[in-house]
Amino acid sequence: MRTFIRSKYLFLAALLCAACGPAAALDIRRADVKEFIAHMSSTTPFTKHQLRKLLKAAQSQPTIIDAMDRPAEKAKPWFEYRPIFITERRIREGVEFWIAHRQALDQASIRSGVAPEYLAAILGVETYYGRLTGSYRVLDALATLAFDYPARAKFFRDELEQYLLLTRDLGVDPLSLKGSYAGAMGAPQFMPSNYRRYAVDADADGHINLWNNWQDVCASVGNYLKEHGWNAGEPVLSDASVEEGKSAELDGRKLALSETVASLHTKGVNFDSSLPTEAPALLIAADEADGVHWRVGYNNFYVITRYNHSALYAMAVYELAAAVKQQVLLSDAAHMPLPTPPLPSSTLPLPPPPAAQQ
């Protein structure tokens, strides 16, 4: 979940392919691969033979490792990151997506308490509303990172195990599914463990399809945010300013709800909030071309960063949600039927005749 596919980075990966070296079949004789096979065969229904056959078919992809080392959330300041996602096209397609899938969004919102604009915006940031769900075989991505990316090998070995169990749950060929360079899948880019834990069969058809069943997709995104602590109806973010001379004492780079509305006010941060003074908050330093701009995030902002651990990501979701909602409201207003005008006076019914005098 923490990483997601974008066409820009797919293109970059293609350009870097030659420099990174060719893909190579995973060597199942390696000690770490044999250890994984032994562990999984002893704790899951998979046999050693099945696991050897599957992992032997996996391709280690050097471009995946390069992409992992170049995430936009770490490489770009806010003023360069924002234009990737807050574009006229992404807003327009967000409006089109909302109108086309209004029922699924509304039902998911009622079920989870998450406003529909945030469900739509996460899908817009992650996969352009399901249009770009990734071109790497999930098995290749997870095997590459599980065995050839030491920095996070344990995490991805766990995800590889969860992926193989997931394909068994879904009844699909592990070699058939495609996703991001980190193994995230479907329109919401769920990692395998999140797919198994948070995905919802919203239409009760016995299958959870996160690629093109929009009831399942929207409900699953809502459920993920709800399970991570979303508070229905609460704000996400406020613009802020800092009193002169106080900015040097402030840390706007820490992604933790370590402040409150009151504590930030005490430290010289000025912002308007409908939340009580004891509500948890965090200070955000957004790097603009003309310097730092300050913002205050609340619980729901922090919950969005559980989807992707980046304040830049959460700010992009927030701004895209606001822009799409504004345009949907304008579209709805433009298509509202006009009220029926009052009848002209000449067509009004005549009053009853006065009562006869006795």
Task: Write out the catalytic residue numbers.
Answer: 126
Q: Kindly state the tokens that stand for 238.
A: 């406020």
Taking alpha carbons only, the member of 218, 207, 187, 211 closest to residue 117 is 218
| CA separation for the pair 178, 174 (Å, rounded) | 10
Burial of 106 (0-12, 13-18, 19+ CB in 10 A): middle
Give, for 259, the enclosing helix (H) or strand (E).
strand 259-260
| CA separation for the pair 56, 205 (Å, rounded) | 34
Query: What is the 8-class DSSP label of residue 243?
Result: -
Kindly report the backbone phi and psi dihedral angles of residue 259, in degrees, each rounded to the nearest multiple of 5, phi listed first. -120, 175
| CA separation for the pair 358, 355 (Å, rounded) | 9
Kindly report the backbone phi and psi dihedral angles of residue 269, in degrees, each rounded to the nearest multiple of 5, phi listed first. -95, 125
Query: What is the 8-class DSSP label of residue 280?
Result: E
Specify whether the CB–CB gap between 273 and 286 falls below 8 A: no
Amino acid at 262: A
Q: Kindly state the tokens that stand for 79.
A: 């003023």
**Sequence-ordered list of residues with C-beta below 8 angstroms from that of 357, at least 6 positions apart, any chain:** none
**Helix, strand or coil for residue 109?**
helix
Chain centre to alpha carbon of residue 90: 15
Q: How many CB atoms lie within 10 A of CB 250?
A: 17
| CA separation for the pair 227, 349 (Å, rounded) | 60
| CA separation for the pair 202, 355 (Å, rounded) | 65
